[in-house]
Amino acid sequence: MSEVADVSVPEAASAVETTTMVWIRHAEKLFKTGAPRARRFRFDAPIVRADGQFESAFARVIAAASRWGRERAIVSIVCSPYLRTWQTAKGIAKEFWKHCGASPRIAIDNRLSEHVGLRAGPRSADCVRDPDEFWTPGTVARAGGSLAALPMSGESEDDLAARCVSHVRSDVLAPRGSTLEVVVTHNSVIRGAVGAALAELAGIGVEVDGGTAPQPLHTKELHGAVLAVSRRDGAIVSARVARF
């Protein structure tokens, strides 16, 4: 569980407690740019630095959190152990400090790791001895100090779905009061988490906005999504989901 900080987000006062989860994709990674040094970071590239990128990400988070109105929230930031999500999460946390006077600590959740899929990949101790070639030392440390904590090469879509269901059940569906959690992760996890949430909430009917719907894990990219789950006396009374 991450440390939290009070952040004001506009909303009309309400007796209903709303848990809001904002999933956002990490900033663009160096590997996709074709830069000469990108090949060193094939599996765990740093992000491409660009002016205004964190201000833009922060604005998207606030817009998503305010989509259906909020009055006050406890903000926490969670990310996968990968370097690109960690760097993006740190940038967003700094923006919270600049604009809201609060700087949430960042928690690491291995369940939010990239989907390795059925592609072959190095999974030996060599990765630890030469981490620049595959994962950075910081990623291994954030994952718990061992590559065994990261998803294995050959992870199936069912394995990814199970991670997403576990994340949704513990972080979204469990009663947590009126909270806002920002999750910096990867496209595959965002799609999987949205699909898991819709399936878990199917019994109450979810208001869908922005074209979000259950979809295969390897269809078009989903760069961000927001889910708001409202409770009265501990019972879920409504849920809304949208992508951005």
pLDDT band at 11 (very low <50, low <70, confident <90, very high): very low
Distance from C-alpha of 64 to C-alpha of 182, rounded to nearest angstrom: 10
Summarised one tens digit per residue, pLDDT across range 113-159 is: 988 665 544 444 444 444 445 567 777 788 887 767 776 556 788 88
Assess contact for 26 and 185: CB atoms under 8 A.
yes
User: Where does the pLDDT of residue 26 fall: very low under 50, low under 70, confident under 90, or very high at 90 and above?
Assistant: very high
Return the DSSP state at 27. P
8 Å CB contact between 240 and 205: no
Look up residue 126 and give its amino acid. Answer: D
Residue with tokens 């740019």: 33
Longest Cα–Cα distance of the chain, Å, equals 56
Selection from 43, 46, 186, 45 nearest residue 120 by Cα: 43
Residue 164 predicted with pLDDT over 50: yes
CB within 8 A of 195, min separation 6: which ones?
Answer: 161, 164, 214, 215, 217
The stretch 24-52 carries a mean pLDDT of 72
Q: What is the mean pLDDT of residues 39-53?
A: 74
Query: What average pLDDT does the structure give for the chain?
Result: 77
What is the C-alpha to C-alpha distance for residues 198 and 192, in angstroms, rounded to an integer?
10
Domain housing 86? 5-243
Percent of the chain exceeding pLDDT 70 equals 70
Of 123-132, 183-192, 219-228, give the lowest mean pLDDT range: 123-132
State residue 175's pLDDT score.
84
| pLDDT reported for residue 210 | 58
Q: What does the pLDDT read at residue 151?
A: 67
Q: What is the CATH number of the domain that holds 42?
A: 3.40.50.1240
The secondary structure element, H or E, covering residue 224 is strand 224-232
pLDDT for residue 22: 94
60, burial (CB in 10 Å: exposed 0-12, middle 13-18, buried 19+): middle
Q: What is the pLDDT of residue 34?
A: 54
Mean pLDDT, residues 188-216? 79
Q: Does position 12 have pLDDT exceeding 50, yes or no?
A: no
Asked if residues 141 and 128 have their Cβ atoms less than 8 Å apart, the reply is: no
Choice between 179 and 6, residue whose per-residue pLDDT is larger? 179
Mean pLDDT, residues 17-35: 80
This prediction's pTM: 0.81
Identify the pLDDT of residue 152. 59
The total of structural domains in the chain comes to 1
